[in-house]
Amino acid sequence: MLRVLSVASECFPLIKTGGLADVVGALPAALAGESVAMRILLPGFPDVLAKAGSTDELHRFEELFGGPARLLAARAAGLDLLLLDAPHLYARPGGPYNDPQGRDWPDNPRRFAALCWAAAEIGRGLLPGWRPHVLHAHDWQAGLVPAYVQYGPEGRRPGTVFTVHNLAFQGWAPPEQLEQLRLPRHAFHIDGVEFYGGIGTLKAGLRLADRITTVSPTYAREITTPEHGMGLDGLLRARSSALHGILNGIDDEAWNPAADPHLAASFGPDDLAGRELNRGALRARMGLAGEPDSPILGVVSRLTGQKGMDLLLACLPTLLRHGMQLAVLGAGEPGLEAGFQAAAEAHPGRVAVRIGYDEALAHAIQGGCDALLVPSRFEPCGLTQLCALRYGAVPLVARVGGLADTVIDANEAALATGVATGLQFIPTTAGALDATLDRLAALWRDREAWSRIQSNGLRAPVGWARSAARYAALYRSVAATA
């Protein structure tokens, strides 16, 4: 049995701000069938400790980046957890990265360096009876894991895998924090942790990990270009032989329309009667009072420019002209939140908006809307379009990143051969989105074609089986060379 320690700042259902948490929470069960035993190391945020329940202390750090800390073991939600209980770093109000006013905690580099340091110590054999073959670090918060392994003491070391979920978030710290972050002076160079005159935690992971993965094949290609590389494209091109695009999946038990407690009625690919009941329940819940036979478009997203939400606002006249209705769930940039709220006030019964995140409502929108909109400017993988396929909502997506890899556009050839699962548009502009809303309206009128697309989506593979096998093979390749 291969032992892997997954190191992350989020894990569903313990703590979640985005898709990172879903992936970290789903991987252990997916990999169990590949003879991989995975534990997850998380910061001991108050909500995490509360949801984890009873714990066992495995190790005590007398001083860890500014105070004492404990390493706790727990079992929760079917997950084998290690929790870094460091109150001086994590026992705070607000979110995992921000204070209650939404500002980044100024000591975030130190808070997550502590997590990485603990991971490297575990990789070197800190815990009697359990030593991982591989450390799998996720995003900038765990980017220093490969650095602490690389610059640590000589001797047996674990293999390292670093996964980029979103290259836009890079974890930069000023150079004077080098000693505070327990990094040696010789680490501060272009082939180490140095990035634009400071310490780049994401860059460190990309440079020093044995293997790099990102969450879709198309995004793996995109980030090696200046357009999408966020200043790291040169490094990623240089490390292209170590870079792998492995598509995310969703937990198809948590997202199962045949047994979803958040839906008004269950349904499956061969029995869509329940879906009509969910459609009616969504209309009632969101106060949608447009024509019952007009399409309901759903959005479950962060309300940000990256997600193309400004494009959707610009295209509201086209959406309304076609008689469509819009149900939005999300939070994000204040200007976009205000824009959607203003649209709901201007078009009651046609546009409904809920600001915030509500897991139950997210399921209800997926199970009740006719089409789900994902007009992202860039999208490493995206999970909402996979949920839409699973729940029979036709995804309308920008042709970028993982959206391009998971949705088959309803062009003439795909319609003729009966393989389409949704609609794609390119470039990511309001004009292109407008034109695709026109295409959606035409497809909606062709009920036979719409039903075929919907049926294809319901049967599309959206789970982890294929990707889990690829991760297991990658782990074994680095464990063999460590």
Which residues does the annotation place in the binding site for ADP-alpha-D-glucose? 16
CA atoms within 13 A on the CB side of 3: 11
Annotated binding site: 16
Q: What is the DSSP string of 66-104?
A: SS-EEEEEEEETTEEEEEEE-HHHH--SS-SSB-TTSPB
**Residue 398 contacts by C-beta under 8 Å, 6 or more apart in sequence?**
308, 374, 375, 376, 377, 379, 424, 425, 426, 428
For 401, the token pair is 């990143």
R_g (Cα) of the chain, nearest Å = 23
C-alpha span between 288 and 254 (Å, rounded): 27
| Residue 212 identity | I
C-alpha to C-alpha distances, 269 to 205, 246, 453, 460, nearest whole angstrom: 42, 27, 12, 10
For 289, the token pair is 């009072």
Cβ atoms of 416 and 233 within 8 Å: the answer is: no
Cβ atoms of 19 and 382 within 8 Å: the answer is: yes
Cβ atoms of 370 and 346 within 8 Å: the answer is: no
- Strands 371-374 and 351-355 turn out to be unpaired
C-alpha span between 376 and 306 (Å, rounded): 6
**Residue 3 contacts by C-beta under 8 Å, 6 or more apart in sequence?**
37, 39, 130, 131, 132, 133, 134
Phi-psi region of 129 (alpha: psi -120 to 50; beta: other; left: phi over 0): left
Q: What is the DSSP string of 154-171?
A: SS---EEEEEES-TT---
| Residue 358 identity | D
For 134, the token pair is 């591989």
